[in-house]
């Protein structure tokens, strides 16, 4: 198959040679190969300024990130067999890591499939195609997934906000047998996940390794789970021996799901619906105290220009959480905002502990689980931070 050429400006190939997969519009020699000549998502062969082949990518003239490299093999055929090979490689890693089929099967660039995410829930896979290139390759992706895994059901959750940036419509589509909810097991706890209506792809597998750390801190303790969603942290805490747990979330349906999951595990969970910072302040006014507080918000800094306001929000949440902690309590503070690095979150925690008149010690640090591997050339693939802190 013959693909059109995408030529780079002189010296703009250096990041690709170092392993990066992204090409920005200002790196393209638009005189030689105008981006306007490409349809969104069209495959192309990338060449450097001297015409040397560098690989196969897909392009999108409508976005600043103009192309994403699929392979450095410029002769590769990007077909169902090619996708099946990449998915099998990703599957082999996950099967080494996990005894049960509940994990992120494909994590975009880190698995050599930029713009594609696949979460596995046993016999059901939830797929997100976030870019025009992956959307255009939908038939090949689905056939490759069937070759590699043959799931009973595939749910396309193509409703993420990034699709709008890529000029794509939002939709949800079922292929095969997809139930309204699936049940997974995590460290002996069971969770019912509403894959069709839940947040993102249904569950936050990326925090599993950090939730595993709870077991040493919560036996005999009271726990507050802020931004609870379906009760991942709070129910894991109760399973590990916490005496009580309270879950906070702004979503009534999420808290209903958390309550159902508590019942599924034979556990008792208090739920409070509302805006997190408001409820934390109400709990403080009521002089409630907890031994362990988990603050795991959604990304509060989605763009670099939001750094200042987002950092202030992280600060307010963590300061109020510290004020709710009993002496020698444990704060678990998380951020999934790529633009807030670990050092910046640590500075926020230090500042807010001083402001609250508390002494803070960092005991452990965590990141995303190994089913969300980091691409060493793409810092954006490392995004999750979790600090376990003692607050005296």
- CATH number for the domain spanning 27: value is 2.30.130.10
Same domain, 288 and 379: yes
- Is the pLDDT score of 77 beyond 80? yes
Same domain, 366 and 291: yes
pLDDT given for residue 125 in this prediction: 98
**Mean predicted lDDT score pLDDT of the chain:** 97
Considering the candidates 44, 125, 334, 336, report the single residue annotated as catalytic. Answer: 336
Contact 335, 297 (CB under 8 A): yes
> Residue 151 forms beta bridges with which residues?
none
- Is the pLDDT score of 217 beyond 90? yes
- What does the block give as tokens for 176? 């095969």
To the nearest 10°, the Cα dihedral for 12, 15, 20, 21? Answer: 0
pLDDT given for residue 2 in this prediction: 77
Distance set, CA 271 to CA 186, 210, 253, 275 (Å): 21, 22, 11, 13
Beta-carbon count within 10 A of 328 CB: 11
pLDDT given for residue 391 in this prediction: 98
Same domain, 204 and 300: yes
Which residue's structure tokens are 């009534």? Answer: 252
- Distance in angstroms (rounded) separating the CA atoms of residues 69 and 56: 6
290-295 vs 222-226, strand pairing mode:
parallel
SS3 letters across the chain: CCCCEEEECCCCCHHHHCCCCEEEHHHECCCCCCHHHCCCCCEEEEECCCCCEEEEEEECCCCCEEEEEEECCCCCCCCHHHHHHHHHHHHHHHHHHCCCCEEEEEEHHHHCCCCEEEEEECCEEEEEECCHHHHHCHHHHHHHHHHHCCCCEEEEEECCCHHHHCCCCCEEEEEECCCCCEEEEECCEEEEECCCCCCCCCCCHHHHHHHHHHHHCCCCCEEEEECCCCCHHHHHHHHCCCCEEEEEECCHHHHHHHHHHHHHCCCCCEEEECCHHHHHHHHHHCCCCEEEEEECCCCCCCCHHHHHHHHHHHHHHHHHHHHCEEEEEEEEEEECCCCCCHHHHHHHHHHHHHHCCCCEEEEEEECCCCCCCCCCCCHHHCCCEEEEEEEC
**pLDDT band at residue 1 under the 50/70/90 scheme:** low
Helix axes 232-239, 252-264, angle to 10 degrees: 20
pLDDT given for residue 22 in this prediction: 98
Residue 383, domain member (yes or no): yes
pLDDT given for residue 113 in this prediction: 98
The model's pLDDT over 38-68, given as tens digits with 9 standing for 90+, comes to 999 999 999 999 999 999 999 999 999 999 9
Contact 332, 386 (CB under 8 A): yes
Same domain, 254 and 324: yes
pLDDT given for residue 161 in this prediction: 87
Residue 142, domain member (yes or no): yes
How far, rounded to the nearest angstrom, does the alpha carbon of residue 194 sit from its chain's CA centroid?
A: 17
Same domain, 199 and 276: yes
The pLDDT of 26-31, averaged and rounded, is 96
Helix axes 276-285, 307-323, angle to 10 degrees: 30
Same domain, 284 and 362: yes
Contact 222, 235 (CB under 8 A): no
Same domain, 54 and 93: no
Same domain, 112 and 159: yes
**pLDDT band at residue 117 under the 50/70/90 scheme:** very high
Which CATH number fits the domain that encloses residue 347? 3.40.50.150
> For 32, phi and psi rounded to 5 degrees?
-80, -40
**pLDDT band at residue 160 under the 50/70/90 scheme:** confident
252 burial type by CB count under 10 A (0-12 exposed, 13-18 middle, 19+ buried): exposed
For the entire predicted model, the pTM comes to 0.95
pLDDT given for residue 62 in this prediction: 93
End-to-end CA, the chain: 65
- Is the pLDDT score of 215 beyond 90? yes
The number of distinct structural domains making up the chain is 3
- Is the pLDDT score of 314 beyond 70? yes
Which structural domain range is residue 31 located in? 5-71
> Residue 329 forms beta bridges with which residues?
391
Same domain, 208 and 275: yes
Which CATH number fits the domain that encloses residue 118? 3.30.750.80
Residue 187, domain member (yes or no): no
Same domain, 335 and 225: yes
How far, rounded to the nearest angstrom, does the alpha carbon of residue 302 sit from its chain's CA centroid?
A: 13
Residue 189, domain member (yes or no): no
Does residue 44 have an active-site annotation?
no
Contact 133, 147 (CB under 8 A): no
Same domain, 201 and 267: yes
How far, rounded to the nearest angstrom, does the alpha carbon of residue 202 sit from its chain's CA centroid?
A: 11
Same domain, 122 and 153: yes
Q: Percentage of the chain surpassing pLDDT 90?
A: 97
């Amino acid at each position: 198959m013959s693909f059109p050429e995408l030529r780079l400006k002189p010296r703009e190939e250096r990041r690709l040679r170092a392993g990066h997969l992204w090409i920005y519009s200002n790196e393209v020699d638009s005189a030689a190969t105008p981006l306007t000549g490409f349809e969104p998502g069209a495959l192309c062969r990338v060449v450097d300024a001297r015409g040397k082949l560098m690989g196969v990518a897909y392009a999108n003239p409508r976005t600043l990130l103009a192309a994403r490299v699929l392979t450095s093999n410029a002769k590769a055929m990007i077909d169902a067999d090619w996708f099946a090979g990449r998915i099998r490689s990703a599957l082999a890693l996950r099967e080494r890591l996990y005894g049960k089929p509940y994990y992120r099967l494909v994590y975009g660039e880190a698995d050599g499939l930029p713009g594609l995410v696949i979460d596995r829930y046993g016999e059901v896979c939830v797929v997100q195609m976030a870019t025009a290139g992956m959307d255009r390759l939908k038939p090949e992706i689905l056939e490759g997934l069937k070759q590699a895994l043959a799931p009973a059901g595939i749910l396309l959750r193509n409703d993420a906000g990034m699709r709008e940036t890529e000029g794509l419509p939002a939709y949800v589509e079922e292929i095969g047998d997809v139930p309204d909810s699936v049940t997974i097991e995590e460290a002996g706890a069971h969770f019912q996940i509403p894959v069709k209506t839940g947040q993102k792809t249904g569950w936050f597998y990326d925090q599993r390794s950090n939730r595993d750390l709870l077991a040493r801190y919560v036996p005999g303790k009271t726990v507050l789970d802020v931004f609870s969603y379906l009760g991942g942290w709070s129910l894991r805490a109760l399973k590990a021996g916490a005496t009580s747990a309270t879950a906070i979330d702004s979503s009534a349906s999420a808290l209903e799901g958390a309550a159902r999951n508590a019942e599924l595990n034979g556990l008792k969970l208090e739920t409070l619906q509302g805006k997190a910072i408001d409820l934390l302040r109400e709990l403080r006014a009521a002089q409630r105290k907890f031994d362990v507080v988990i603050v795991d918000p959604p990304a509060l800094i989605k763009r670099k220009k939001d750094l200042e306001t987002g950092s202030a929000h992280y600060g307010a949440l963590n300061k109020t959480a510290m004020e709710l902690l009993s002496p020698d309590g444990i704060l678990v503070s998380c951020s999934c905002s790529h633009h807030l690095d670990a050092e910046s979150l640590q500075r926020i925690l230090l500042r807010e502990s001083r402001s609250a008149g508390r002494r803070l010690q960092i005991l452990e640090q965590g990141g995303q689980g190994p089913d969300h591997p980091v691409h060493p050339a793409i810092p954006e693939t490392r995004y999750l931070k979790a600090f376990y802190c003692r607050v005296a």
